[in-house]
A and B are shown apart, each in its own frame.
Chain A
Amino acid sequence: MLIIAERINGMFTDVKRAIMDKDKKVIQDLAKKQTDAGASYLDVNVGTAAADQEGTIQWLVESIQETCSTPLCLDSQKPDVIAAGLKVLNAGNGGLLNSTPLNKKNDDEILDRFIEMATQAGPKVGVIALTMDKNGVPQDTDNRVAIAAEIVSKAMEKGFDTQRLFIDPIVLPVKVPNAQVQPTNILNAMDQIKYLCDPAPHMTVGLSNLSQGTNQRSLINRVFLAMAMSHGLDSAIADTFDEDLMNIVATSEMLMNKQIYSDSFLKVYAS
């Protein structure tokens, strides 16, 4: 299970302040703590903290890389911001470009551009692609799978290894009216997405989005993560500081026989 740690995001007030004050230490500290907590990747998202998104993502990437070699997940809807981040990314450590839809009303080729950027960056850089197209986010299972199939076939067409492809079936806040059916739709979609190619694409979700606005955030995130792992989820953008969540990842992997049980299985997984 690859956990992409979510905290270096300008939407969080401490990160926003650090960006405004150009305070590297806060960012470097978060990078280290999330790595120690078991992060496989560190998400890097400028958020709304700065007008100059390209310059800011570069500052974030460079600041993190000064003290930490955990691969980074460059997070922006804008290809130009991703491209700016890529210029300074140490791609030899690996990396992810997060994220692109299949296409957009005003940009039919956005997925192609993400795949090209990842290809140019080197063999260890992957792409997170959302099951979303010019019509928006599908609300049902079938359209999610159909879009995922188009994403996979585009990747194959461009000779992009599907093991570098992460499909995100888009988790919506469960509290939004009529959204309670979505978790089940997502699980059903994942059951099908994993058969789209062999080897299967990775699957990821922005986990914390599910519990937005609820008063049981951690519990909802934890339970859904365990459910989704049993449907083939092998990656998530999540809160590595939630120790119980990380323990659930370790336990799920053990229960699915992906890790050999030992009495110290929780500790070993974290390390």
Chain B
Amino acid sequence: MPVPQVVESFAGSVNRVTLGATKDDGGTRNSTVTVGGAKNVVYGGSAEDAGETPVVAMDVLDSKPTDWPDALIEPYKDVIDSPADWAKKCVEEFGAEMICIKFEGIHPDKGDKDADHAVKVTEDVLKAVAVPLVLWGCGNDEKDNQVMPKVSGAAKGEKCLIGAVTEDNYKSLTAIALADGHFLITQAPLDINIAKQVNILASDMGFPLERIVTFQSTGALGYGIEYAYSIQERQRLAALAGDKMMAMPAICDVGYEAWRAKEAKLEDAPGWGGAADRGPMWETATATCLLQAGVDIIRMRHPRAVATVKNFIDQVWKSNS
């Protein structure tokens, strides 16, 4: 008996986005990263429908982290005071395809560092590594509006992914990202309606939809991953149905969220297995789950988790092609 063909096909697709500018393109990057392009759900349809392979962006903090557990500090202990060396290590030793500079230290409660500091970090990292960058503010609207436009300017023409803008705070960063030729992260608090609205607001300012990557907010394993999963899935299905306002590739922040979980960082928990393994496993499980919902760029922290997730991506996406 013949097996019936049950593959669904869709009219729409996820936008294809190429991050990073090489010399020919007016920047200084040696490589670019292209994500998106999926014409089906993950595992759905033919190999060509899978689109571009998802990528890992490894986190580098602008200032030495104060609340990281030992298991996460350990791989970076020799470079943790220098964002440039840290970034270099991520690219050269751990195979990061992108670096995400998280400007944690500019937050008023976490160091309150100024724009000069942030600009210097940006310039140093741009010199140290040649992969495309993600430039991510601290989440305090006022401080981000002061600092991130200057960070944007310091990386002008490099086609970075910069953000994140929200429904209540999008104008200044959207305008500057547009002027500096960057790509924009639009953020929503696990709310698909707001996600769509932020994209519309950015688009109303003349920002091209093809240069937006969405951040729906992330929940780690055990801490709301099901909400993140279902929103990512809904975003993908809306893109496939032809909703232009939802057809962007997606980024998620697995590193921060996974390592917030007590299961990932608690040292003294004999019944849970060794702390050195637990954190990377928590981060890996969170990442692989969200990749299956349709996320295109994953921010991660622990090199062992990164290696496992890259292996997973290779098996699922590249074995397809």
> Would A268 and B245 count as touching, CB distance under 8 A?
yes
Residue of A with least CB distance to B204: A264
Which one of B201, B204, B243 contacts A260 once the chains associate, using CB atoms below 8 Å?
Answer: B243
Interface residue B138 (Cβ < 8 Å from any Cβ of A): no
**Which A228-271 residues have C-beta < 8 A from chain B?**
258-264, 267-268
Give the distance to chain B from A151, nearest Cβ to Cβ, in Å: 24
> Would B192 and A264 count as touching, CB distance under 8 A?
no
Give the distance to chain B from A252, nearest Cβ to Cβ, in Å: 16
Known: A261-B193, A262-B193. A268 touches B238 (CB 8 A): no
Residue of A with least CB distance to B199: A262
Interface residue B200 (Cβ < 8 Å from any Cβ of A): yes
Residue of B with least CB distance to A265: B196
For residue B101, which residues in chain A have a CB less than 8 angstroms away from its CB? none
Interface residue B288 (Cβ < 8 Å from any Cβ of A): no
Residue of A with least CB distance to B235: A260
A-facing mask of B168-207, CB < 8 A → 1, else 0?
0000000000000000000000001110110011001000
> Would B238 and A262 count as touching, CB distance under 8 A?
no
Interface residue B287 (Cβ < 8 Å from any Cβ of A): no
For residue B197, which residues in chain A have a CB less than 8 angstroms away from its CB? 262-264
> Would B246 and A264 count as touching, CB distance under 8 A?
no
Distance A76 CA – B245 CA, assembled complex (angstroms): 37
Which one of A258, A259, A268 contacts B200 once the chains associate, using CB atoms below 8 Å?
Answer: A268
Distance A268 CA – B197 CA, assembled complex (angstroms): 10
Total A-B pairs, Cβ < 8 A: 28
For residue A258, which residues in chain B have a CB less than 8 angstroms away from its CB? 241
Residue of B with least CB distance to A258: B241
Which one of B200, B234, B241 contacts A262 once the chains associate, using CB atoms below 8 Å?
Answer: B200
Distance A260 CA – B246 CA, assembled complex (angstroms): 9
Number of interface residues of B (CB under 8 A): 14
Give the distance to chain A from B183, nearest Cβ to Cβ, in Å: 21
Distance A117 CA – B196 CA, assembled complex (angstroms): 41
Distance A264 CA – B234 CA, assembled complex (angstroms): 19
The A interface, classified by DSSP as helix, strand, loop or mixed, is loop
Give the distance to chain A from B208, nearest Cβ to Cβ, in Å: 14
For residue B246, which residues in chain A have a CB less than 8 angstroms away from its CB? 260
> Would B193 and A259 count as touching, CB distance under 8 A?
no
For residue B234, which residues in chain A have a CB less than 8 angstroms away from its CB? 260
For residue A264, which residues in chain B have a CB less than 8 angstroms away from its CB? 197, 200-201, 204
Give the distance to chain A from B166, nearest Cβ to Cβ, in Å: 14
For residue B241, which residues in chain A have a CB less than 8 angstroms away from its CB? 258
Distance A267 CA – B201 CA, assembled complex (angstroms): 11
Distance A260 CA – B245 CA, assembled complex (angstroms): 9
Give the distance to chain B from A65, nearest Cβ to Cβ, in Å: 24
Residue of A with least CB distance to B198: A262
Give the distance to chain B from A267, nearest Cβ to Cβ, in Å: 7
Residue of A with least CB distance to B246: A260
Give the distance to chain A from B195, nearest Cβ to Cβ, in Å: 8
Give the distance to chain B from A163, nearest Cβ to Cβ, in Å: 11
Distance A123 CA – B234 CA, assembled complex (angstroms): 30
For residue B193, which residues in chain A have a CB less than 8 angstroms away from its CB? 260-263
Distance A133 CA – B243 CA, assembled complex (angstroms): 39
For residue B192, which residues in chain A have a CB less than 8 angstroms away from its CB? 260
Distance A267 CA – B192 CA, assembled complex (angstroms): 17
A-facing mask of B49-61, CB < 8 A → 1, else 0?
0000000000000
> Would A267 and B243 count as touching, CB distance under 8 A?
no
Give the distance to chain B from A128, nearest Cβ to Cβ, in Å: 21
For residue A261, which residues in chain B have a CB less than 8 angstroms away from its CB? 193, 196
A-facing mask of B236-259, CB < 8 A → 1, else 0?
001001010110000000000000
Residue of B with least CB distance to A264: B200
Residue of B with least CB distance to A259: B243
Distance A259 CA – B237 CA, assembled complex (angstroms): 11
> Would A260 and B200 count as touching, CB distance under 8 A?
no
Distance A68 CA – B122 CA, assembled complex (angstroms): 47
Give the distance to chain B from A212, nearest Cβ to Cβ, in Å: 34
For residue B243, which residues in chain A have a CB less than 8 angstroms away from its CB? 259-260
Distance A259 CA – B200 CA, assembled complex (angstroms): 14
Distance A263 CA – B200 CA, assembled complex (angstroms): 9
Distance A260 CA – B196 CA, assembled complex (angstroms): 8
For residue B201, which residues in chain A have a CB less than 8 angstroms away from its CB? 264
Distance A136 CA – B234 CA, assembled complex (angstroms): 46
> Would A267 and B200 count as touching, CB distance under 8 A?
yes
Distance A263 CA – B197 CA, assembled complex (angstroms): 6
Give the distance to chain A from B233, nearest Cβ to Cβ, in Å: 13
Give the distance to chain B from A155, nearest Cβ to Cβ, in Å: 20
For residue B238, which residues in chain A have a CB less than 8 angstroms away from its CB? 260
Distance A223 CA – B173 CA, assembled complex (angstroms): 43
Residue of A with least CB distance to B241: A258
**Which B254-302 residues have C-beta < 8 A from chain A?**
none
Distance A183 CA – B219 CA, assembled complex (angstroms): 49
| B interface residues with partner A (beta carbon < 8 Å) | 192-194, 196-197, 200-201, 204, 234, 238, 241, 243, 245-246
- Ranked nearest first, the 4 interchain pairs of A and B with the lowest CB-CB distance are A262-B196, A262-B197, A264-B200, A261-B193
| A interface residues with partner B (beta carbon < 8 Å) | 258-264, 267-268
Q: List 10 A-B contacts (CB under 8 A).
A: A258-B241, A260-B192, A260-B234, A260-B238, A260-B246, A262-B197, A262-B200, A262-B245, A263-B193, A268-B196
Given contact pairs A260-B192, A260-B193, a sample of 9 additional A-B residue pairs in the complex whose CB atoms are under 8 Å apart: A259-B243, A260-B234, A260-B238, A260-B245, A262-B196, A264-B197, A264-B200, A264-B204, A267-B200
